[in-house]
Amino acid sequence: MNSKTIFFDELCGASQGVDVSVTLGLLWMAACDGSITPNEQKKIAKYYNSAPGNEVFQNSIFRKKALAALKDEDSDVLEKMCDVLKKDLNIDEQQYFFRLLIDIASAEDAISVSKNYILRFFLDLFEIESDYLSKEYLSVTGELLPELGDPSSPLWWDYEDSVKTGSFETMARYRENLSEAQARHILGLSNTAIAKDIKMAYRRLAQHYHPDRHEGLDDTKRKKLEQSFLLVQQAYEVLKR
Amino acid sequence: MKDLYRRNNLESGESNAVKIHGIENGFEEDREAAFSIFLNQARKDVYDNTHRTLKSIGRLRTTFNLNTVDWKNNNSDYVALTQKPIIRHQSTEKNEPVFQNKKSFNEGTTFNTNKKSTSKIKNENVHSTFNSNRDNSASSDSKSQNLQVLLQKFAWICGVSFFVVIVWLMFFGRDSGMEAEAPKKQYKYAANRIVNVYRKPSLSETIVASLKKYEDVTVNPVKSKGEWDFVNIGEKGAYVLREELTFGSGEKKLLEDCRMDGVARPESSELLLYRPTGIHKLIISNPPGKDALLKMKSSHGKTAFFAYIRGGENFIVENIAEGDYYFEFSIGDNYGPSCGIFLDETYVVRDEEPKYFNSRLDGFKQYPKTITYVLKSEIFNTKRIPMQNF
């Protein structure tokens, strides 16, 4: 047993196992991209200001140790945290914790791939239906949950760069010159996917991105949504040929 | 997402020159990706963070049995191989935290631990009530003394009767067949080629696992229902049709069945199973002594080849396909060809550390890799496995 596990046990033994785990979960979400941004700090502080009885987060030594454990990918600490969260929280509490995570994940403009993965992990850990994530993400942030990206793929980076530059012309060019491999990646399909898989993936994504399904969005968000929808359509056209 | 570090034998802190060298010698299919990501600091930062998070999530998903097909398909590099048991942190009743939830997100929901303080207040109230009664009532002392005497008598009677019951059971209980006996676990094995394991005792329920023929299971008769045996598989246990299990040891039965078909001693050059599809080479060396069997399996558990190597002989396998492989080998006497195992003095081990067959390219030519493997049970990462799983 290493020193970090002992520190977790010490704090849990002091009757705060759930608080320690909740705080660790929030810190994991905030720090998974390397550092905690001011916006994320504000979101966490906002929650803890509304919970003044909670002494765990106020403890600066705990915060330092927790961040060090998360940085070192200490699997013992993470396993214990997940075990407590899974077994000691009831369904309502798990859903509330999940909303907190979404709130922190969406503190910056775009949700990172790591955060997206952590959200999906907790969704599976708490055995919550998969629809819940996209619905809650929309209700908490007012935006659509992005599909999982693949930072090990140059294709994904090409698309990300064209989105970041923001010019819809660039995106349109990207769309027109879509290769079969890129189209497969956009629809989240492997090389072995058959016609039925392609159709199902297209229908799922088209429903997800269809502008008519999301009323009340402002102009910029609506345009982004339309671009995503067009990209999905184009990917389907490429694979249908 | 792919683990580009592992695929290119790189560490995250290495210099660009080392990285370029590693990438050039790594998998061809990942070369473009590795160059475009590792040599671009902004992309590398994002990749490193995701890589770190996925490593943690991969381990956690394995620990909590969350490795769904989708996850395995998309992140096969991040699926942990071994499953660690979960040790739940211990919290006493006094210290048990209470998680109070207020449903609305904007109402300032808290995760407070109030149970301790509540119980304290309750105890204080009890004490004060008890004290005030004693002060106010003069006859309460004599009443409590009577109560104490009664309790002592009651405890004495209970003790004597308990002793009498124990003595009676010791002398007469066994003969009269009334011995209080806890239901014992039953040891059975799978009698058919593939036996399905169901989540609940019904054929329409989800199949959670399958047993190979001769695989041993422990049955809990208390939880067994009707025609279904409850077996300890996974965290919660599952059900198997009773007619598909037989009492006894699967290993013994396997050896008995195999012995009926006779024994043989193949030559070292005899490959018992072989799927040649690549360019790599493996040299197997069996130290003098007993004969050995070697199986090379892919990470999905599919056998790439199966060979018999006599003691003190070497053997070369060529045309091995690119990829990661695990070695399982068995050493013993009297090879049973019908079952592919040794029938006497046998033990089977698995090398937990995979061997990588990856080719090196210099722009003109592809160089195959050659690995020499010595069959020794004392190899650092070997782990003994049941004979039926070989």
Question: Could you tell me the pLDDT band of residue A83, with boundaries at 50, 70 and 90?
Answer: confident
B113–A78: do the CB atoms touch at under 8 Å? no
Contact list in A for residue B57 (CB cut-off 8 A) is 117-118, 121
pLDDT tens digit string along A102-124? 888 888 877 888 998 999 899 88
| Residues of chain A contacting residue B43, judged by C-beta atoms under 8 Å apart | 151, 157
Closest residue of A to B64, CA-based? A125
- Amino acid present at B269: S
Helices and strands: H and E segment counts in chain A: 13, 0
Inter-chain CB proximity B113 and A18 less than 8 Å: yes
B92 to chain A, minimum CA–CA distance in Å? Answer: 8
Write the CA distances from A107 to A36, A63, A218, B137, B232, integer angstroms.
10, 20, 19, 65, 45
Which one has a higher pLDDT value, B262 or B154?
B154
pLDDT of B142: 52
Over pLDDT 70: what percentage of chain B?
Answer: 65
Cα–Cα distance for residue pair A217/B292, rounded to 1 Å: 69
Cα distances (Å, whole numbers) of residue A4 to A8, A67, B201: 6, 11, 43
This complex has an ipTM of 0.75
Tokens 């770190």 found at = B52
- Round to whole Å and give the CA distance between A132 and A124: 11
CA B90, CA B354: separation in Å to the nearest integer?
Answer: 36
Structure tokens at A241: 């040929």
Residue B380 is predicted with a pLDDT of 54
Of A12, A53, A54, the CB nearest to B91: A12
| pLDDT bracket for residue B72 (50, 70, 90) | low
Q: Among candidates A68, A27, A77, which has minimal Cα distance to A47? A: A27
Contact at 8 Å (CB) between A150 and A185?
yes
Work out the pLDDT band at A51, boundaries 50, 70, 90: low
Q: To the nearest whole number, what is the mean pLDDT of chain B? A: 71
Model pLDDT, residue B132? 31
Residue whose tokens read 């290119």: B8
Residues B294 and B276: their CA atoms lie apart, in Å, by 16
Rounded distance between C-alpha atoms, residue A7 and residue B139, angstroms:
54
pLDDT (average), residues B227-256: 83
Q: How confident is the model at residue B311 (pLDDT cuts 50, 70, 90)?
A: confident
Contact (Cβ atoms closer than 8 angstroms) between residue B219 and residue B229: yes
Q: Are A121 and B54 in contact (CB < 8 Å)?
A: no
Nearest CA in chain A to B80: A75
Nearest CA distance, A201 vs chain B (angstrom): 13
Span A139-146, average pLDDT: 74
Q: Pick from B43, B61, B84: which is nearest to A121 by CB?
A: B61
**Distance, CA of A237 to chain centre:** 29
Give me the helices (H) in B4-139, please: 4-7, 16-24, 31-38, 41-63, 69-74, 115-136
Q: Give the pair of three-digit tokens for residue A213.
A: 């399904």
Q: Which of A186, A166, A171, A192 is nearest to A237 (CA)?
A: A186
Q: Do A51 and B108 touch (CB under 8 A)?
A: yes
Decide if A151 and B47 are in contact by the 8 Å CB cutoff.
yes
Decide which of A208 and A97 is more confident. Answer: A97
Vertex B389, ends B228 and B321: CA angle to 5°?
130
Residue B176's CB: how many other CB atoms inside 10 A? 9
Q: Does position B356 have pLDDT exceeding 70, yes or no?
A: yes
- The listed range with the strongest mean pLDDT (B16-25, B188-197, B359-368) is B188-197
Top-confidence range, A12-16, A199-203, B296-300: A199-203
The beta-carbon neighbor of A83 closest among B3, B47, B86 is B86
CB–CB contact A84 B57 (8 Å): no
Percent of chain B exceeding pLDDT 90 equals 0
- In this prediction, residue A20 has a pLDDT band, given cuts at 50, 70 and 90, of confident
How far apart, in Å, are the Cα atoms of A143 and each of A103, A216, B271?
Answer: 12, 11, 60
Q: Is the pLDDT assigned to residue A169 strictly greater than 50?
A: yes
Contact: A13, B95; criterion CB under 8 Å: yes
Which tokens belong to B145?
Answer: 């003394």
- When CB atoms are compared, the residue of A19, A118, A125 closest to B53 is A118
pLDDT in tens, B286-309: 888 788 888 888 877 778 788 888
Say which residue, B249 or A172, is predicted with more confidence.
B249
- pLDDT at position B53 over 50: yes
Kindly tell me if the per-residue pLDDT of B46 is higher than 80: yes
Contact B226, B219 (CB under 8 A): no
The answer to whether the CB of A37 falls within 8 A of the CB of A25 is no
Give the whole-angstrom CA distance, residue A96 versus residue A93. 5
- pTM value? 0.47
Residues of B with Cβ-Cβ distance to A87 under 8 angstroms: 88
Residue A168: pLDDT band (50, 70, 90) is: low
Q: Which residues of A touch B114 (CB under 8 A)?
A: 53
Nearest to A153 among B33, B46, B105 (CB): B33
More confident residue, B123 or B37: B37
Q: How far is the CA of A93 from the CAs of A87, A132, B7, B105, in angstroms? A: 11, 15, 41, 11
- Residue with structure tokens 């303080």? B117
User: Number of CB pairs < 8 Å for A and B?
Assistant: 150
Rounded to an integer, the average pLDDT of B306-335 is 83
Rounded to the nearest angstrom, the minimum Cα separation between B390 and chain A is 31
B chain contacts of residue A135, beta-carbon cutoff 8 Å:
none
Contacts of residue B378, Cβ cutoff 8 Å, sequence gap at least 6: none
Q: Is A73 left (phi over 0), alpha (psi -120 to 50) or beta?
A: left
Q: Give the closest of B46, B99, B116 to A18, CB-based.
A: B99
Q: Using the beta-carbon criterion (under 8 Å), do B109 and A157 form an inter-chain contact?
A: no
Taking contacts as CB-CB distances below 8 angstroms, the residues of chain A near B109 are 50-51, 96
Interatomic CA distance for residues A36 and A55, integer angstroms: 20
Give the pLDDT score at B94.
37
* DSSP per position, B199-215: SSSSTTSPEEEEEETT-
Chain A nearest-CA residue for B73 = A190
**Residue A237 to residues A157, A164, A179, A186, A202: CA-CA distances in angstroms?**
22, 25, 11, 12, 10
Distance of alpha carbon B242 from alpha carbon B240, whole angstroms: 6
Cβ of A157 within 8 Å of Cβ of B36? The answer is: yes
CB-based contact A114 B49, cutoff 8 Å: yes
Q: Is B121 left (phi over 0), alpha (psi -120 to 50) or beta?
A: alpha
CA atoms within 13 A on the CB side of B292: 25
